[in-house]
Structure 1
Amino acid sequence: MKYPFLISIPHGGIRIPSEVAGRFVLPNQDLLWYCDPATRHLFAFGQSASAVIDTEISRMVIDLNRPPLPLPPKDPDGIIKTRTIDGRPVYRNGQLPDLKLIHQLMMKWYFPYHQRIDELIDSHDISLAFDCHSMLPYGSPEQNDAGKKRPLICLGNYGDETGQAKPGSLTTCPPEWILGLADAFRKEFSGAGDVAINVPFSGGFISNAHYWRKGIPWIQIEINRILYEDNSCHIQRSVVREERIPGLRTKIWQILTRFWDDLPKEGQEVYFS
């Protein structure tokens, strides 16, 4: 039996293509650290979910979870990064990709990823999509939660801390769904504040855009890197503990399926309002 889930993993890639190789002021180890290390393995549910999509491209080359506009230099943390989340320049002086190169990168990596999501939803039995990420243990200097300790798990549906829609906006899944999933996570991660809803992240471009396009509910999942890394906050000393990944992956999958199995059957109908 495959569960009717679409799993999206947009930030796990580490490939630096030849078109931009040598342009970065950041060394390779730093480029890796600013991605979502190990998420392609952590959320590898291809044998059990209806559909999985990931990418080999590094988010430091092109960020698939950002809107296609604005282009640099207007948004330093946009689709093309010009500055890191802690304020470091990404490219050498004069080496920022020009409009022609940005267009090439978008045509090769960005638009195909989003088109493939639509194709998977159209061709598979999908009732719920998860956009899957990792996060650092503390907010970085240029983020809204700078210096604050983060939960072990953050779930996002573009709502408030109870999953309800904010004034003038919609959520990407019913509040009852994200509350139920949070409860399922809390049974495994039971410390106070270990599971949060929409704090510090409420969702990115992928979950929002594709909910609007297809009406399939989306939930963004952020896993704290402290669960599978040593020294997560230190670029030079951060180490992924590969031996932790299989057990954590199994636990996450059990949580997702337990949540879905416990959801009232009428609640599993496609949601759009």
Structure 2
Amino acid sequence: MKYPFLISIPHGGVEVPAEVSGRIALSEPEIRWYCDPATRLLFDFGSSVESTIDTSISRMVIDLNRPPLPLPPKDPDGVIKVLTVDSRNVYLPGQLPDLPLIHRLMMKWYFPYHQRIDELIDRYPVRIAFDCHSMQPYGSAEQNDAGKPRPLICLGNYGDQNGWAKPGSITTCPADWIISLADAFREEFPGTGDVAINTPFSGGFISNAHYWRKGVPWIQIEVNRTLYEPHGTLAHPSEMIEERIPVLRSRIWSVLTRFWDGITVDAPPGGEDLAGSYDKERPDARTGTPIHEEDN
């Protein structure tokens, strides 16, 4: 059975293209540390889903889960990184890409990714999309949850801690849906505080922008990296990933399918049949831009 899911994995790449390879101040292990390299394996459900999109490019070069504007130096944690989440310089002194280079990078990596998402939604019977990430166990110094332990799983739809829309805003999926998914994750990962909704991350640009564009519900999934790698080292231990990822992927897949089988019976795309739980208005692209703290 093929499930009507679109799986987006925007931060799994670690590639640094030749155009900027001599400019980067970070080492190869550091590049991997600040990306989500295991997510390309963790969320690879193959032909069991309608469509999957990922990328080889490192988020330290182009962050696909940020709005295309503003550019540096105005936004140090934007689409073109100036600083890491713990305030380390991404580029060597005087080597920050200029506007022509930024343009080339955006045209090669950024806009094609977003265009492809829309194409996949148009081409395949996608009923829900998941933007899939990993998160470090504790908040970094510059983040809203600095020093605080993070849950094993964080689900985001831009709402409050129960998945409901905040005053004057919208959510990218019905509250009923994200609550049901959280319950399914809690069954799989039992324990107080192990699954959270919209805390510490409530969503990123991808889920917001493409919900607005297409009306298909989106949920952002953040998986704590302690589930498959030790904390406190820059190097990803490949042997541990190879051992733990298949089992963890199977558990996540079980959660997603159990959730979907439980909430959908001939439900139209967007979940409009769920009375009272779904705001049919789409976000204003001018005011719906997420803050960075909502995406790891």
1: distance between equivalents of 2:266 and 2:45? 25
In the alignment, which residue of structure 1 is the partner of 2:37? Answer: 37
In the alignment, which residue of structure 2 is the partner of 1:159? Answer: 159
1:14 match: secondary structure: coil
2: distance between equivalents of 1:69 and 1:170? 22
Structure 1 residue 239, shift from structure 2 partner: 2.8
Q: Which amino acid aligns with 1:234?
A: T
For residues 118-129 of structure 1, the aligned pairs below 5 Å read 118-129=118-129
Structure 1 residue 45, shift from structure 2 partner: 1.1
2: distance between equivalents of 1:234 and 1:201? 23
In the alignment, which residue of structure 1 is the partner of 2:233? Answer: 234
Q: 1:110-167 CA distances to partner (integer Å, 9 max, x unpaired)?
A: 0000000000000001000000000000000111110000000000000000000011
Q: Which moved more, 1:22-31 or 1:189-198?
A: 22-31
Structure 1 residue 88, shift from structure 2 partner: 0.7
1: distance between equivalents of 2:195 and 2:87? 28
2: distance between equivalents of 1:264 and 1:121? 18
In the alignment, which residue of structure 2 is the partner of 1:114? Answer: 114
2: distance between equivalents of 1:26 and 1:127? 39
2: distance between equivalents of 1:73 and 1:57? 21
Structure 1 residue 199, shift from structure 2 partner: 0.2
Q: 1:212-267 CA distances to partner (integer Å, 9 max, x unpaired)?
A: 0000000000000000001x2332x5535221000000110010000000114154
Q: Which amino acid aligns with 1:74?
A: K
2: distance between equivalents of 1:218 and 1:267? 15
Structure 1 residue 59, shift from structure 2 partner: 0.4
Shift >6 Å, 4+ stretches: none
In the alignment, which residue of structure 2 is the partner of 1:260? Answer: 260
1:95 match: secondary structure: coil
2: distance between equivalents of 1:269 and 1:211? 11
For residues 69-108 of structure 1, the aligned pairs below 5 Å read 69-108=69-108
What RMSD over aligned residues (CA atoms) do the two structures have, in Å? 1.1
Q: Is the CA contact 1:152–1:223 (under 8 Å) kept in the aligned structure 2?
A: yes
1:52 match: secondary structure: strand
Q: How many residues align?
A: 271
For residues 1-273 of structure 1, the aligned pairs below 5 Å read 1-230=1-230, 232-235=231-234, 238-240=236-238, 241=240, 242-265=242-265, 267=267, 269-271=269-271, 273=280
1:191 match: secondary structure: coil
Q: Is the CA contact 1:73–1:82 (under 8 Å) kept in the aligned structure 2?
A: yes
Instruction: Provide structure 2 residue ranges, at least 5 long, that are not aligned to the other structure.
Output: 273-279, 281-296
Scaled by the length of structure 1, what TM-score is found? 0.97
1: distance between equivalents of 2:227 and 2:172? 27
- Do the aligned partners of residues 7 and 264 (structure 1) sit closer, same or farther apart at CA in structure 2, a change above 3 Å counting? closer
2: distance between equivalents of 1:29 and 1:208? 31
Scaled by the length of structure 2, what TM-score is found? 0.89
2: distance between equivalents of 1:40 and 1:247? 15
Q: Which amino acid aligns with 2:137?
A: P
Aligned residues: percent identity?
A: 70
Q: Is the CA contact 2:6–2:130 (under 8 Å) kept in the aligned structure 1?
A: yes
1: distance between equivalents of 2:59 and 2:268? 33
Instruction: Provide structure 1 residue ranges, at least 5 long, that are not aligned to the other structure.
Output: none
2: distance between equivalents of 1:246 and 1:221? 17
Q: Which amino acid aligns with 2:34?
A: Y
- Do the aligned partners of residues 214 and 65 (structure 1) sit closer, same or farther apart at CA in structure 2, a change above 3 Å counting? same
Q: Is the CA contact 2:137–2:226 (under 8 Å) kept in the aligned structure 1?
A: yes
